[in-house]
């Protein structure tokens, strides 16, 4: 059985990691699947248990800015500025990798993605391991990322040594970190997250360009290999309800078939329940407009395990609060208009 580690068990978890075992850890975004970043075999196991394609590199977690020097060959002024402003926090920075770093970690790329998570238990874990830890999201490849420790156990069972249990039931941000690649004067966003383009620009004065998955795919060398792969999906088909849909349109879509699951804000759920009391629909909440990204994966996973055979998810106008949510949702599903 894989073990649950609490605060007082951190030394044991650190010991297991040093011995080459896999231990999942919480972060403020999603749970990561931890392994020692210089252990070839442990890293191999991470790819294996996740079912992750070998050409999709892992990111590395550190407990201090100084520790970046163990992995990166160069730290530019703009990288330094970003680390000082946003770490610990949901920002992964792509650095040129030091020679001699195990090559399966970076999938043979000349770069490595590094971040310092804002989670005291995990920072303490890395401090005790005394070396950076790899930390891809702790889910089976293609599934929604885990935002509760139980999600990690659902995906990996006893294939890993254990998972560190945080004090809060749900991770606070709920979608993965913003990933950035740096040029001398430009910041490229390869994956949007809680650190927004505006925040990156404000802190550095640099121009910030978000590269969509489509743009990354059409380039000669794909900037972030992860964009190639299907992501974030439960097993049932997911249909996205447009932001301007009326209650009549909602009703039309969700009454078109049986065994329907709906993931929407509490406000929308209440309105639908009033209208459609007779239909048995499985509802999962996104809370309020401010919590949609925190609740997205939890909702998709809950519906995945329910009797629902088709899932409808609410979408919103694209703004700072909803941008990362919409990015993940659009890769998990397709527009409800395409439902025939």
Per DSSP bridges, beta strands 59-61 and 162-164 are unpaired
* 162 contributes a contact to ligand TXA by CB under 6 A: no
Contact residue for ligand TXA among 147, 171, 224, 294 (CB under 6 A): 224
For 20: left if phi > 0, alpha if psi spans -120 to 50, otherwise beta; the answer is: left
* 122 contributes a contact to ligand TXA by CB under 6 A: no
Which of ligand TXA, Mg ion, none has residue 58 at its interface (CB below 5 to 8 Å by kind)?
ligand TXA
Contact residue for ligand TXA among 2, 56, 147, 293 (CB under 6 A): 56
* 153 contributes a contact to ligand TXA by CB under 6 A: no
Please identify, among the stretches 26-34, 70-78, 250-258, 270-278, the one whose residues bind ligand TXA according to the rule CB under 6 A: 26-34
Q: Give Cβ neighbours of residue 241 (< 8 Å, ≥ 6 apart).
A: 249, 250, 253, 264, 312, 313, 314, 315, 336
* 111 contributes a contact to ligand TXA by CB under 6 A: yes
Q: Which stretches of the chain are assigned E, i.e. beta strand?
A: 3-5, 23-25, 32-36, 59-61, 91-96, 111-115, 133-134, 162-164, 178-182, 186-191, 207-210, 238-241, 260-264, 281-285, 310-314, 334-335
Contact residue for ligand TXA among 68, 83, 106, 241 (CB under 6 A): 106
Instruction: Give the number of other Cβ atoms within 10 Å of residue 84's Cβ.
Output: 10
Contact 152, 24 (CB under 8 A): yes
Query: Is 18 within any annotated ligand binding site?
Result: no
Q: How many residues bind ligand TXA (CB under 6 A)?
A: 30
* 29 contributes a contact to Mg ion by CB under 5 A: no
* 293 contributes a contact to ligand TXA by CB under 6 A: no
Tokens 């590199």 correspond to: 57
Q: What is the 3-state secondary structure (H, E, C) of 219-276?
A: CCCCCCHHHHCCCCCCCCCEEEECCCCCHHHHHHHHCCCCCEEEEECHHHHHHHHHHC
Length of the chain: 340
Contact residue for ligand TXA among 88, 89, 132, 135 (CB under 6 A): 135
Cα–Cα dist 57/112, whole Å? 8
Query: Is 29 within any annotated ligand binding site?
Result: yes
Is 177 buried (19+), middle (13-18) or exposed (0-12) by CB count in 10 A? Answer: buried
Please identify, among the stretches 59-67, 94-102, 135-143, 245-253, the one whose residues bind Mg ion according to the rule CB under 5 A: 135-143
* 137 contributes a contact to Mg ion by CB under 5 A: yes
Measured from the CB of residue 177, what is the shortest distance to ligand TXA in angstroms? 3
Which candidate, 322, 259, 318, 323, places its Cα nearest to that of 286? 322
Which C-beta is closer to ligand TXA: that of 200 or that of 254?
200
Q: Which residue is nearest to Mg ion (CB)?
A: 137
* 176 contributes a contact to ligand TXA by CB under 6 A: yes
Q: Which stretches of 6-48 are assigned E, i.e. beta strand?
A: 23-25, 32-36
Which candidate, 217, 59, 229, places its Cα nearest to that of 141? 229
* 2 contributes a contact to ligand TXA by CB under 6 A: no
Contact residue for ligand TXA among 20, 96, 142, 225 (CB under 6 A): 225
Which of ligand TXA, Mg ion, none has residue 113 at its interface (CB below 5 to 8 Å by kind)?
ligand TXA
Q: Which residues bind Mg ion (CB under 5 A)?
A: 137
Q: Which residues bind ligand TXA (CB under 6 A)?
A: 27, 29-30, 32, 56-59, 90, 92, 94, 106, 109, 111-113, 115, 117, 135-137, 176-177, 179, 190-191, 223-226
Q: Can you say which residues are annotated as belonging to the binding site for L-threonine?
A: 29, 61, 115, 177
Q: Can you say which residues are annotated as belonging to the binding site?
A: 29, 52, 56, 61, 111, 115, 137, 145, 177, 191, 232
């Amino acid at each position: 059985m894989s073990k649950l580690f609490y605060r007082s068990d951190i030394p044991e978890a650190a010991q297991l990691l040093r011995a080459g075992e896999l231990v999942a850890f919480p972060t403020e975004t999603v749970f990561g699947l931890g392994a020692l970043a210089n252990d070839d075999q442990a890293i191999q196991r991470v790819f294996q248990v996740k079912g992750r394609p070998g050409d999709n590199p892992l990111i590395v977690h550190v407990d201090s800015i100084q520790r970046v020097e163990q992995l990166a060959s160069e730290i530019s002024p703009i990288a330094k500025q970003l680390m000082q402003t946003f770490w610990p926090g949901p920002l992964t920075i792509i650095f040129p990798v030091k020679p001699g770093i195990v090559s399966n970690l970076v999938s043979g790329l000349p770069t490595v993605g590094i971040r310092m998570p804002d989670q005291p238990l995990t920072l303490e874990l890395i401090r005790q391991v005394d070396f950076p830890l790899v930390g891809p999201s702790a889910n089976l490849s293609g599934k929604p990322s885990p935002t509760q420790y139980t999600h990690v156990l659902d995906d990996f069972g006893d294939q890993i040594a254990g998972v560190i249990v945080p004090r809060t039931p749900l991770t606070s941000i709920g979608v993965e970190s913003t990933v950035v690649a740096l040029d001398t004067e430009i910041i490229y966003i390869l994956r949007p997250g809680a650190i927004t383009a505006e925040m990156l620009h404000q802190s550095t004065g640099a121009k910030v360009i978000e590269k969509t998955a489509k743009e990354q795919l059409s380039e000669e060398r794909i900037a972030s290999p992860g964009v190639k792969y299907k992501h974030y999906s439960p097993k049932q088909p997911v249909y996205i309800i447009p932001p301007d849909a009326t209650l009549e349109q909602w009703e039309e879509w969700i009454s078109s078939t049986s065994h329907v699951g709906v993931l929407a804000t509490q406000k929308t759920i209440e309105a639908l329940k009033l209208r459609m009391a007779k239909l048995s629909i499985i509802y999962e909440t996104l809370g309020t407009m401010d919590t949609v990204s925190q609740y997205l994966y939890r909702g998709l996973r809950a519906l995945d395990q329910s009797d629902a055979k088709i899932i409808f998810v609410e979408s919103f106008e694209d703004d700072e609060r909803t941008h990362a949510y919409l990015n993940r949702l659009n890769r998990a599903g397709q527009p409800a208009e395409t439902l025939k």
